[in-house]
Amino acid sequence: MDLGLSDKVAVITGGSAGIGLGVARCFAREGTRVVLAARDRERVAGAARDIAEEFGTEALGHPCDVATAEGCDSLIDAAREAFGGVDILVNNAGTGSNETILDAPDDKWQSYWDLHVMAAVRLARGLAPIMAERGGGAILNNASICAVQPLWYEPIYNVTKAALLMLSKNMATEFIPMGIRVNTVNPGLILTPDWIKTAKQLSADTGGDWEGYLQSVADEHAPIRRFGTVEELADFMVFLCSPRASYVSGSVHHVDGGMLRSI
């Protein structure tokens, strides 16, 4: 299926590893020019270089911290200067947490708010007018199943991802007259490098069977009884950003192997 994304420009935050890198690679496979944003200068530059070499499309790796206003501004400027505009924004940068409400300090709440919510606000505020000038576009926000089915040990992650869902709905209403569709994905268990790292750490004292540990997690939470791959999620995310999904706006899509227990 031709997704109609050739020569479009996509900005992906958290683009140097995991889901973000998978999304960038999927876009590049469709002929999309990509801007990858991440904090590690060498890693994001290397990821962009590898994508350009493998897929023969233009790729820019921009080092910045999108949890700050300055980082968002620099990313907006870099995309405009490199490609003259942007058609697609994927707000993917994020990280899990571990705390209790009673013990978590204010600054931890604020840092997650800035990363999961304000980054999406600031980047949309800067890039939506540019998309509108080019005839419209798409914004996709990567939230989490924890936004609607929270895990007890990460209340800050749960709350800020839930806020991202509401932000997405408001964006969709405000931006659709500009020709910009906004949607959200709620991934469940996706086999990222972070999950593998965590599994190796947690299984080290019991024989090191990290794959067995991950299988136990999948058995407990996902009726499909496995983790999803980054590629499976990325394919769906890129489809939502394409003209093939032109009637999809303001929607939340669960990619979770049946993990969500409600309707």
Residue ranges per domain, the chain? 9-190+230-255, 191-227
Split at pLDDT 50, 70, 90, the class of 29 is very high
pLDDT at 1 over 90: no
> CB pairs under 8 A, 24+ apart, for 128-134?
128/175, 128/178, 128/180, 129/178, 130/76, 130/80, 130/85, 130/86, 131/85, 131/86, 131/87, 131/89, 131/178, 131/179, 131/180, 132/178, 132/179, 132/180, 133/85, 134/85, 134/86, 134/87
Question: Mean of the per-residue pLDDT values for the chain?
Answer: 97
pLDDT over 90 (residue 111): yes
What confidence tens digit (pLDDT) does each residue in 75-96 have? 999 999 999 999 999 999 999 9
pLDDT exceeds 90 at position 54: yes
CATH for the 9-190+230-255 domain, from 1.10.3720.10, 3.40.50.720, 3.20.20.80, 2.40.50.100: 3.40.50.720
Residues that are catalytic: 157
pLDDT tens for residues 137-153?
Answer: 999 999 999 999 999 99
Average pLDDT over every residue of 57-70 = 98
What predicted TM-score, i.e. pTM, was given to this entire model?
0.97
Question: pLDDT of 194-236, one tens digit each?
Answer: 999 989 998 999 999 999 999 999 999 999 999 999 999 999 9
